């Protein structure tokens, strides 16, 4: 039986809920295949008395039939239940089935893919609101967990609900992909013994999605696993890109266009640049679209140094999407060793640098721990200066602005061996530091910090320039 790896914070929340002795409403959201269902089933094993999952794009009649089938299973009776004519009737019918179960102890109702059950004019959400407020709140032995992959819908209609569910959520869990630490532990639990450099390569291509990682076989190298998942005719991820976005967003073409635009700009785009690149309007629809991608975990907003949220830079942070758009989209070739051949090309080098940088940005807490500043109050940001005529510009992808009057200027470099700073790159680093200091007029001490796969060679260009040198192993810290 598969065991639950990591997720310690989430398990603590769910344990607190089950032990509270009060009626509880829990919202769990996160992208497709991130492990939401497995988390709830495992954490609440023995407590779930009713489980229902909405069906994507199904009719009201089909959803109600599916709900009836779940009630039939919960009832444990041979008698065939009549299909209710509405969601109000369905939830009323459920009360009768659950009432005797609640007398036996703490019980969980698990409503999975909650947004999919709310088809147009179905009345599902309104009926659930009534069900919760009129009956569930009186059941001290009851925990209701509602779960959905459409993260933005869950936040808009459940977490920030302004109607019947306003301020009703007891706990919310945004389930994110595994960190590198959790990925390493998960692979080991599946008897996949790869070193950290191999795990990093897997993570750069498919991210920390448990359902993707689950398909890596013991004895496979990173390249062989990527080949099988992404480039064989029936590989799990060969057609995942379209399915992923279309299962989460009603008008997915716009979301996909934004993802494609960001994939071409490693430095990221601000809101106006996204609008221009994707021919979008400047109104609330675009704001919602961007928010949906952020909340679903596909892109991230980075606030530039000393700027406000309105000037955020958006970057594509979903590893699989970046990999797909770079190497898989439109490729007809399939079979073994496809990736092994491609990973020696020049396009691999530019992709690997960007992918590694993204991973470092997701693991800033580990970077802070390694720098010994975990307890220092900090603000992470990006910074870029577009040069005018006769002057040099500069771009910094991670600044750690510290309350102890220091700033770490972090440079992230992926390499197959020890990284060597040549005279040209040394000059570039000095320029970044000087331009940043001149343009921001900061009086804080600046530390040039390198984060690389295998460390930096301590040559003449390193000495006196680099203050801290971190290797990839620090990204695997808990």
369 and 459 in a single domain? The answer is yes
In a domain, 3, yes or no: no
**What CATH number does residue 308 fall under?**
1.10.10.10
48 and 87 in a single domain? The answer is yes
Cβ atoms of 402 and 415 within 8 Å: the answer is no
136 and 267 in a single domain? The answer is no
**What CATH number does residue 112 fall under?**
3.40.50.300
Of 39, 42, 69, whose CA–CA distance to 54 is shortest?
69
pLDDT digits (tens, 9 = 90+) for 138-192: 999 999 999 999 888 898 899 888 888 888 999 999 999 999 999 999 999 999 9
Cβ atoms of 274 and 290 within 8 Å: the answer is yes
* Integer Cα distance of 254 and 281 in angstroms: 11
Question: Which helix (H) or strand (E) covers residue 53, if one does?
Answer: strand 48-53
343's CB contacts (< 8 A; 6+ apart) are 223
In a domain, 374, yes or no: yes
State how beta strands 107-112 and 142-148 pair.
parallel
312 and 448 in a single domain? The answer is no
Residue 151 lies in domain: 8-174
- Residue-by-residue DSSP string for 23-43: -EEEEEE-STTSSHHHHHHHH
In a domain, 59, yes or no: yes
Cβ atoms of 445 and 405 within 8 Å: the answer is yes
Cβ atoms of 65 and 74 within 8 Å: the answer is no
SS (H, E, C) 356-375: HHHHHHHCHHHHHHHHCCCC
Cβ atoms of 398 and 410 within 8 Å: the answer is yes
228's CB contacts (< 8 A; 6+ apart) are 215, 217, 220, 235, 336
Phi/psi at 334 (nearest 5 deg)?
-140, 170
Per-residue pLDDT of the chain (478 residues; tens, 9 = 90+): 577 888 999 999 999 999 998 999 999 999 889 999 999 999 999 999 999 999 998 999 999 999 999 999 999 887 788 999 999 999 999 999 999 999 999 999 999 999 999 988 899 999 999 999 999 999 999 999 999 998 888 988 998 888 888 889 999 999 999 999 999 999 999 999 999 999 999 999 999 999 999 999 999 999 999 999 999 988 999 999 999 998 888 889 999 999 999 999 988 999 999 999 999 988 888 998 999 999 889 999 999 998 989 899 999 999 999 999 999 998 766 666 788 888 877 888 889 999 999 999 999 999 999 999 999 999 999 999 888 777 788 999 899 999 999 999 999 999 999 999 999 999 999 999 999 999 999 999 999 999 999 999 999 999 999 999 999 999 999 9
302 and 267 in a single domain? The answer is yes
Enter the tokens of residue 144. Answer: 């209701």
111 and 26 in a single domain? The answer is yes
25 and 170 in a single domain? The answer is yes
Of 348, 354, 455, 357, whose CA–CA distance to 412 is shortest?
357
Phi/psi at 448 (nearest 5 deg)?
-75, 120
State how beta strands 299-302 and 313-316 pair.
antiparallel
Phi/psi at 100 (nearest 5 deg)?
-70, -30
478's CB contacts (< 8 A; 6+ apart) are 181
Residues in the chain: 478
158 and 59 in a single domain? The answer is yes
In total, how many domains does the chain have?
A: 4
In a domain, 21, yes or no: yes
Q: What is the pTM (predicted TM-score) of this model?
A: 0.91
350 and 306 in a single domain? The answer is no
């Amino acid at each position: 039986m598969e065991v639950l790896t990591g997720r310690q914070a989430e398990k603590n929340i769910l344990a607190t809920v089950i032990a509270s002795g009060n009626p509880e409403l829990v919202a769990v959201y996160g992208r497709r295949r991130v492990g939401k269902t497995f988390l709830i089933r495992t954490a609440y094993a023995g407590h779930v008395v009713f489980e229902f999952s909405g069906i994507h794009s199904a009719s009201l009649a089909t959803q109600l039939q599916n709900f009836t089938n779940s009630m039939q299973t919960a009832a444990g009776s041979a008698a065939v239940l009549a299909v209710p004519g509405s969601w109000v009737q369905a939830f009323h019918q459920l009360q009768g089935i659950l009432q005797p179960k609640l007398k036996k102890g703490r019980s969980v109702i698990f409503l999975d893919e909650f947004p999919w059950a709310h088809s147009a004019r179905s009345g599902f959400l309104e009926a659930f609101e009534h069900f919760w407020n009129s009956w569930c709140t009186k059941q001290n032995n009851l925990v209701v967990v509602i779960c959905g992959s459409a993260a933005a819908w869950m936040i808009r209609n459940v977490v920030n609900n302004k109607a019947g569910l306003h301020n009703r959520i007891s706990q919310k869990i945004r389930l994110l992909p595994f960190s590198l630490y959790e990925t390493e532990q998960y692979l080991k639990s599946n008897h996949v013994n790869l070193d950290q450099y191999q795990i990093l390569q897997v993570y750069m291509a498919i991210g920390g999605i448990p359902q993707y990682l689950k398909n890596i076989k013991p004895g496979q190298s990173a390249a062989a696993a990527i080949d099988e998942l992404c480039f064989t005719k029936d590989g799990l991820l060969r057609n995942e890109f379209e399915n992923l976005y279309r299962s989460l967003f009603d008008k997915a073409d716009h979301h996909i266009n934004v993802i494609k635009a960001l994939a071409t700009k490693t430095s990221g785009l601000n809101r106006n640049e996204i609008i221009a690149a994707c021919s979008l309007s400047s109104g609330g629809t675009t704001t919602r679209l961007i928010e949906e991608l952020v909340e679903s975990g596909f892109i991230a907003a980075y606030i530039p140094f000393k700027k406000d949220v309105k000037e955020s830079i958006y970057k594509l942070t979903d590893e699989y999407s970046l990999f797909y758009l770079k190497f898989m989209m439109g490729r007809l070739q399939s079979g073994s060793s496809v990736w092994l051949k491609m990973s020696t090309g020049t396009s691999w080098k530019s992709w690997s640098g960007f992918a590694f940088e993204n991973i470092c940005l997701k693991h800033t807490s580990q970077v802070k721990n390694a720098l010994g500043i975990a307890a220092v109050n900090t603000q992470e940001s990006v910074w870029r200066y577009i040069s005018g005529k006769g002057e040099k510009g500069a771009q910094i992808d991670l600044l750690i602005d510290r309350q102890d009057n220091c700033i770490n200027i972090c440079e992230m470099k992926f390499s197959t061996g020890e990284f060597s700073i040549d005279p040209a790159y040394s000059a570039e680093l000095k320029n970044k530091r000087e331009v940043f200091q001149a343009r921001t007029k900061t009086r804080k001490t600046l530390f040039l910090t390198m984060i690389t796969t295998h460390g930096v060679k301590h040559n003449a260009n390193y000495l006196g320039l680099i203050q801290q040198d971190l290797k990839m192993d620090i990204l695997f810290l808990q």
